[in-house]
Homo-oligomer: A and B are copies of this chain.
Amino acid sequence: MNNFNVIKTDKNTRARLGEMKINGVKIKTPAFMPVGTQGTVKTQSPKNLLEAGVDIIVSNTYHLFLKPGMDILNNAGGLHKFMNWDKLILTDSGGFQVFSLADLRSIDEEGVVFRSHTDGGYYKFTPERVMEIERTIGSDIAMIFDECIPYPSSYGYTKNSTERTLKWAKRAQKHFCNIENPYNKEQLLFGIIQGGVFEDLRKYSTMETVNLGFDGYAIGGVAVGEPKSIIRDIASYTSNLLPDDKIRYLMGVGHIDDVIYSVGVGVDLFDCVLPTRLARNGTVITHSGKLVVKNGRYKDDLKPIDDKCDCYVCQNFSRSYLRHLFNVEEILAANLATYHNIYFYMSVMKEVRKAIEEDRYSIFAREFLDKFKGDK
């Protein structure tokens, strides 16, 4: 059974319109997944997300493992029921978090020992253990446990790490097949391509990962501090090596212009904390670019955030009101700004899919980016 189908490829670019169906939930791609690290997309209820058009979110193995922990999630019947979200959930494996948030104690072939950033306790993640955790979370899509290296890293270190991630992927895959999903649901497993900024290593990682045969493939180890041009080069190069009939997920990207670019080179799936994090810090995203709405210059501005946006926030509140809410540190500020930013990303992805459907993706992308100034 194929969970993903390419419906159409754009005539002049590599952009694809696709459909993914898991556990009876069907979503269209290219799609952007808001991040709900701790079992909630920060400040938003599931009702808000549905209104904004969200049908798939990302949650995080590392965070959920620490809090609320496996017992509570298992007791609730998995993350979907716990947070009352009946659309799709993809769980990142925690690789990125273990290597960025936690205090790393040791890494060897077996796995990683780390000290939690919340309770200070020591824990061990192995490729097998992470599969068990993701089974307990009960996401629709689980990611294998990978080593996520910083930028820049030497060729030698990147090569060794890429080899390790491959070995871990094999072990993860094997173990995943041996343990059942406790909620009797379908759960896909995606491989993650590493290889840093080196084309030959990316190619090697792609070939070997694809040989193992996963339900989908993520381009990992990007958006870790390298320049935009390198992210785009990796996306373009690696996407080209991946099989046409499997979904392609560019992890941690991101800025709307990078999303627009990467769709053009054949990427189907994206996630990033950017729209939600920016919102909490007082920045909203519009068709003209970013707008720091908490800024005093908007104190008298009665226009909506984006006059082309038909979201609840743009239809009902002024920049002046939003700026006031941020100025007096009202929680509603983060709430409304996040709602708009998510809605904006969802709207752009709708425009993206329509443009592919109508074979005018390159024109759409050029026009969109001409207007969008904030992210360049």
B82 lies within 8 A of A45 (CB) = no
Interface status of A363 (Cβ within 8 A of chain B): no
- The reply on A76 being an interface residue by CB < 8 A is yes
Contacting chain B: which of A171-179, A251-259, A328-336? Answer: A328-336
Q: Which residues of B contact A71 (CB under 8 A)?
A: 300
B residues in contact with A336, CB < 8 Å: 45
Given A40-B330, A327-B68, the answer on whether A75 and B316 have CB atoms closer than 8 Å is no
A302's contact among B42, B47, B75, by CB below 8 Å, is which?
B75
- A39 and B321 CA atoms in complex are apart in Å by 9
Residue pair B331, A75 in contact (C-beta under 8 Å): no
Q: How far is the CB of A44 from chain B (nearest CB, A)?
A: 7
Known A-B contacts A318-B76, A321-B82; the reply to A332 vs B67 at CB < 8 A is no
Shortest CB–CB separation between residue A62 and chain B, in angstroms? Answer: 13
**How many whole Å from A276's CB to the nearest CB in chain B?**
11
Q: Does A38 contact B (CB under 8 A)?
A: yes
Whether the Cβ atoms of A40 and B325 lie closer than 8 Å is yes
Q: What residues on B are CB-neighbors of A321 within 8 Å?
A: 39, 76, 82-84
With both beta carbons as reference points, the residue of chain B lying nearest to A75 in the complex is identified as B300
Q: How often does this chain occur in the complex, in copies?
A: 2
Chain B residue nearest to A84 (CB atoms) is B316
Q: Are B324 and A68 in contact (CB under 8 A)?
A: yes
A72-B299, A331-B43 known; A317-B84 Cβ under 8 A: yes
Contact of A76 among B67, B72, B82, B302 (CB under 8 A): B302
Neighbour of A42 across the interface among B44, B47, B331, CB < 8 A = B331
| Residues on the B chain within 8 Å of A150, using CB | none
User: A46 in the interface, Cβ–Cβ < 8 Å?
Assistant: yes
Answer yes or no: A126 CB below 8 A from chain B CBs.
no
A320 on the interface (CB 8 Å rule)? yes
Q: How far is the CA of A265 from the CA of B332 in the complex (A)?
A: 36
A83: min CB distance to chain B, Å: 6
Residues of B near A76 (CB, < 8 A) are: 302, 318, 320-321
Asked if A312 is an interface residue, CB under 8 A from chain B, the answer is: yes
The answer to whether B67 touches A328, judged by C-beta atoms less than 8 angstroms apart, is yes
Q: Which residue of B lies closest to A71 (CB)?
A: B300
> Is the CB–CB distance between B331 and A47 below 8 Å?
no
Chain B residue, CB-CB nearest to A46: B316
List residues of A (325-365) whose CB comes within 8 Å of B's CBs.
Answer: 325, 327-328, 330-332, 334-336
A361 to B160, CA, bound (A): 77
Can you report 27 A-B residue pairs in the complex whose CB atoms are below 8 A from each other?
Answer: A39-B321, A39-B325, A43-B330, A43-B331, A43-B332, A45-B332, A45-B336, A63-B328, A67-B324, A67-B327, A68-B327, A72-B320, A72-B324, A75-B302, A76-B318, A76-B321, A82-B318, A82-B320, A82-B321, A82-B324, A83-B317, A83-B321, A84-B316, A84-B317, A280-B331, A331-B331, A331-B335
- Given contacts A42-B330, A46-B316, A331-B334, could you give 13 more A-B pairs where the C-beta distance is less than 8 Å? A38-B324, A39-B321, A43-B330, A43-B332, A44-B332, A45-B332, A68-B299, A68-B327, A72-B324, A75-B320, A76-B302, A76-B318, A82-B318
